[in-house]
Amino acid sequence: MATNLIVRNVDDDLALALKQRAAANGRSPEAEHLEILKKALQRLHGRSSADVLASMPDVGDDEDFDVRKS
């Protein structure tokens, strides 16, 4: 079973880059988008959330990510 995925509010420059990358790889923009998504998710396959989080670079301070503002 396949599901349709709609991505809204894509920046024009990003859409153009996707079209150019698709053309360079001989694919439609939709097929290129699917390939990018597959590759991104395959990299995470088999890794726990803790492993993914632990692999993120240690940047900024906790306060930088606090959504509560005084």
Domains and CATH numbers, the chain: 12-54 (1.10.1220)
Would you give per-residue pLDDT tens digits along the chain (70 residues)? 788 888 899 999 999 999 999 999 999 999 999 999 888 877 766 777 777 778 877 777 777 677 765 5
Distance from the Cα of residue 28 to its chain's centroid: 18
And the tokens for 2? Answer: 């396949």
Which token pair is 42? 């395959």
| pLDDT given for residue 34 in this prediction | 92
